[in-house]
Structure 1
Amino acid sequence: MAPAKTIALFPEASYGAALNCVGIAQELRGLGHRPVFICHPGFSGVFAEYGFAEYQLTDTDAAPTDWNDFIERHQDAFRQAPLAQLDSYVGPTWEAIVDTAMRVEEPLRQLLGRLKPDAIVLDNVVMFPAIANAGVPWIRVVSCAETEIPDENVPPYLSGCGVDARAAWSNFAVRYEKTVAPAHKRFTGFLAECGLKAPASPNFLDPSPWLNLLLAPAIIRHERRQKLDPATFVFLDGCVRHEAPYTPPRFASHNEAPLVLTSFGSLGAMDVTMMKRMIGVFATLPYRFLVNAGHWREEYREVPDNVFIDSWFPQPSVVEQASLFIHHGGNNSFCEALYYGVPSLIMPYCWDGHDNAARAAETAVGQRLGRYDWSDADLAAAIEGLLGDEAMHVRLKSNAATMHKAAGATQAAEEIARVASDAVAAARASV
């Protein structure tokens, strides 16, 4: 057996990326390697809960970005279409991301010097110079929608455009590049100070020369004009973590009815008013509903008999038992739904949720519903329609079997371990 390798995983400050990396780390550990996590402030304990060593980054010059506060200050943008969100949300978000990369550069460099990993897994949308200059291979994980890697046949990143809406692609792409130009200019200067060349605008991260892992199951994958090199690009059919088993609670009614999970992520749950409006519709339907309320659980005083609300669920274990998943289009949630053969009702509010909502509808694995512009009848009809679509359920269950067989998390771990082992062998041969 080859010696164990130390693999440092560095996900962005979001639970989707963090938990996607947990799934990979679980498989790396199963292969006998030593995965460790580098985590942003606010994520302490997330990885330790799964039994992994974690190393907290501390900012040197200023307080870290509080993403809960950031989202709360930009909530009004979530009522806008993707094009309007460019100025109100996307631009400010890229500025905050660049700020984070600049602030953590020195502590990250020092931490990597102490850890001395054999490889670094970067699940992020921006390059950190300390990683590029660490002297070991780095692996890029694209746990957002596939649109993050551009192609002539793929709709623009964050646009929410479908493949048949090409007339809107160019306008969005031009506006997007103009919007992110100030952040990209700052980032270019920062990289130059660190001895690195910046990615071409509007990109903030180039592909890794060693390995790129894309979380894009075949059932929703785009047909690209320019095929990605299979030597350095690997598509994963799911990358689901192992979670504790979950037993649904006993409800006051409808205990034999289909189970529906509703979760809009750790940040989307803050819109309590909208969630209460949805719960009002749930109360009229003959199904069971689990609702993830995040930090706002105590805001819900009166709960219908067929609804159970909690601050957190072991999501994969719940999705496996659900008949429908209502979510925001986060790629992690979307892929979990596909992995377990469950249709998605996607109500996006930002970032790649728009892209996944469009893709769910055009590939017939779910439905897109505006987060705010729906009537009670619209929401009820969408839920009933997806639960009653037998053809969709059969197709999704068949696809789930294919995804389970593909074992995306295992494949990811094996590819990462291969890169790390090859690099160690090459280093020894050069001595």
Structure 2
Amino acid sequence: MVPSKTIALFPEASYGAALNCVGIAQELRRLGARPVFICHPGFSGVFAEYGFPEYQLADAASEGPTDWNDFIERHKDAFRQTPLEQLETYVGPTWDAIVDTAIQVEEPLRQLLARLKPDAIVLDNVVMFPAIANAGVPWIRVVSCAETEVPDPLVPPYLSGCGGKPSKEWQVFSTHYEKVVAPAHRRFSSFLNECDVKAPASPGFLDPSPWLNLLLAPEIIRHEREVPLDPETFVFLDGCVRRETPYVPPRFASHNDAPLVLTSFGSLGAMDVSMVKRMIEVFATLPCRFLVNAGHWRDEYQDVPDNVFIDSWFPQPSVVEQASLFIHHGGNNSFCEALYYGVPSLVMPYCWDGHDNARRAEECGVGLRLNRYEWSKGGLSGAIRTLLENADMKARLKANSEKMKAAAGATRAAEEILSIAATLPMRSL
């Protein structure tokens, strides 16, 4: 009897990467594979909810990996800064924390992979783990952040929020970025060398996989490159949207026939309650229905307008499919879900690749960007009305949606992964 291929998926400790991998795993399972998840502390139950086995990396480290909610709470003042200013206050500390986590989970990860004996490992992360490099099976890199994570002379610097063509602004950001991350990179390189793994050149923390690299970058927002990526090992995906439970919008006290607008800033951005409350004051003046994702802060909202419904969680793809506008932080999952369902984006970024995606939404004519804090009531109201009334944008997004659905990104990803896994001989029971 020959078993199905076991594919271990290891997303970083973020819901964006985790839920992107769920979409791929759903297709792997449908195609007959056995997907299993390796997950950081704090993500227990996330994958089991979708019916997948979970394996935790919890207690083997001398200190638990970074509590990201606590980390964000300590650094949230940086969200008011420009991407260049955030290099010192947020990006540098984040890379330090990521390196800490990689070092801490190395031994439990090595032991777990020895037990699981996967046929391939899917790594949706921003750093290499020596245990994966030394596992003796193919590993697949997934880039579920902005395409800027994979550099090129014609692609704006990663995390910069820059646009247009190469400029002095690009160079200033790149130079400062490399300087800020240098200490973390030296520490990480030393760790990799101790584990007999070649370290990526500065300022990178993860080289491309020699087997397969999957980039969640739909064609409509894709960058032109000076050096094209090798199609044998780099595959662009037009969406990796997971299947979610259906969602029926609540009955509102008014505006039940009005356009539906989803507002969600991710699991971390929801902590900015005062800013969201300011937005709700504007929502109350508009002829729309608004769903607002409040995360763990649901109880902070008491007086809610009749045309606003607040909850701690929504099955996001199922809601976006019904929405006329998606207001979000520029997380790549959210951005790609909006594109997949043909919905314009109003992007209000606060960190990481949200800056890059906000700029790209505006450059490519699929949405608008708005400073997360420096907006007037008229500015927010005007942006919402503009996006709801832009017929040309709607038509373009609808055509793109049909194209992305036909491309079936999650299915393509699963097929490519299984093709790599098939290069190993099947194990007999």
- Work out whether the TM-score is over 0.5: yes
Q: What's the counterpart of residue 258 of structure 2? A: 257
Q: What's the counterpart of residue 353 of structure 1? A: 354
What do the CA deviations read for 1:253-297 (whole angstroms, capped 9, x no partner)? 100000000000000000000000000000010100000000000
CA 1:77–1:369 in 2, change beyond 3 Å: closer, same or farther? same
CA distance in 2, matches of 1:256, 1:175: 50
Indicate the SS of the match to 1:74.
Answer: helix
Q: What's the counterpart of residue 369 of structure 2? A: 368
Q: What's the counterpart of residue 23 of structure 1? A: 23
Q: What's the counterpart of residue 313 of structure 1? A: 314
CA distance in 2, matches of 1:143, 1:274: 27
What do the CA deviations read for 1:197-240 (whole angstroms, capped 9, x no partner)? 10000000000000000000000000100000000000000000
In the alignment, is residue 330 of structure 1 matched against residue 309 of structure 2? no
CA distance in 1, matches of 2:404, 2:192: 39
Answer yes or no: is the 8 Å Cα contact 1:154–1:163 preserved in 2.
no
Which amino acid letter does the alignment assign opposite residue 84 of structure 1?
E
Counterparts of residues 150-161 of structure 1 (less than 5 Å): 150-161=151-162
Indicate the SS of the match to 1:423.
Answer: coil
**More displaced stretch, 241-250 vs 160-169:** 160-169
Answer yes or no: is the 8 Å Cα contact 1:337–1:344 preserved in 2.
yes
* Per-residue deviation, 1:163: 2.0
Q: What's the counterpart of residue 37 of structure 1? A: 37
Answer yes or no: is the 8 Å Cα contact 1:320–1:340 preserved in 2.
yes
Q: What's the counterpart of residue 392 of structure 1? A: 393
CA distance in 1, matches of 2:96, 2:36: 28
In the alignment, is residue 424 of structure 1 matched against residue 421 of structure 2? no
Counterparts of residues 228-243 of structure 1 (less than 5 Å): 228-243=229-244
Indicate the SS of the match to 1:185.
Answer: helix
CA distance in 2, matches of 1:52, 1:361: 37
* Per-residue deviation, 1:142: 0.1
* Per-residue deviation, 1:2: 8.1
Answer yes or no: is the 8 Å Cα contact 1:281–1:376 preserved in 2.
yes
Which amino acid letter does the alignment assign opposite residue 11 of structure 2?
P
* TM-score, structure 2 normalization: 0.98
What do the CA deviations read for 1:121-148 (whole angstroms, capped 9, x no partner)? 0000000000000000000000000000
Answer yes or no: is the 8 Å Cα contact 2:293–2:312 preserved in 1.
yes
Which amino acid letter does the alignment assign opposite residue 5 of structure 2?
K
* Per-residue deviation, 1:413: 0.2
In the alignment, is residue 81 of structure 1 matched against residue 108 of structure 2? no
Counterparts of residues 117-128 of structure 1 (less than 5 Å): 117-128=118-129
In the alignment, is residue 60 of structure 1 matched against residue 61 of structure 2? yes
In the alignment, is residue 13 of structure 1 matched against residue 26 of structure 2? no
CA distance in 2, matches of 1:124, 1:134: 17
* TM-score, structure 1 normalization: 0.98
In the alignment, is residue 207 of structure 1 matched against residue 208 of structure 2? yes
Which amino acid letter does the alignment assign opposite residue 164 of structure 2?
V
Answer yes or no: is the 8 Å Cα contact 2:65–2:100 preserved in 1.
no
Q: What's the counterpart of residue 411 of structure 2? A: 410
* Per-residue deviation, 1:385: 0.3
CA distance in 2, matches of 1:72, 1:133: 35
CA distance in 2, matches of 1:150, 1:261: 32
In the alignment, is residue 277 of structure 1 matched against residue 278 of structure 2? yes
Indicate the SS of the match to 1:125.
Answer: coil
CA distance in 2, matches of 1:163, 1:44: 41
Q: What's the counterpart of residue 51 of structure 1? A: 51
Indicate the SS of the match to 1:416.
Answer: helix
Paired residues in the alignment total 427
* Per-residue deviation, 1:60: 1.3
Which amino acid letter does the alignment assign opposite residue 87 of structure 1?
E
What do the CA deviations read for 1:98-127 (whole angstroms, capped 9, x no partner)? 000000000000000000000000000000
Please provide the CA RMSD for this pair.
1.2
Q: What's the counterpart of residue 290 of structure 2? A: 289
Answer yes or no: is the 8 Å Cα contact 2:293–2:311 preserved in 1.
yes
Indicate the SS of the match to 2:220.
Answer: helix
Unaligned runs of 5+ in 1: none
Indicate the SS of the match to 1:422.
Answer: coil
CA distance in 2, matches of 1:217, 1:391: 19
CA 1:217–1:262 in 2, change beyond 3 Å: closer, same or farther? same
Q: What's the counterpart of residue 341 of structure 1? A: 342
Answer yes or no: is the 8 Å Cα contact 2:264–2:293 preserved in 1.
yes
CA distance in 2, matches of 1:163, 1:193: 41
What do the CA deviations read for 1:364-383 (whole angstroms, capped 9, x no partner)? 00000000010000000000
Indicate the SS of the match to 2:161.
Answer: coil
In the alignment, is residue 227 of structure 1 matched against residue 228 of structure 2? yes
CA distance in 1, matches of 2:252, 2:365: 31
* Per-residue deviation, 1:3: 4.8
Q: What's the counterpart of residue 102 of structure 2? A: 101
CA 1:314–1:75 in 2, change beyond 3 Å: closer, same or farther? same
Q: What's the counterpart of residue 268 of structure 1? A: 269
CA distance in 1, matches of 2:165, 2:272: 32
CA distance in 2, matches of 1:164, 1:204: 25
* Per-residue deviation, 1:358: 0.3
CA distance in 2, matches of 1:69, 1:32: 39
CA 1:2–1:229 in 2, change beyond 3 Å: closer, same or farther? farther
* Per-residue deviation, 1:422: 1.3
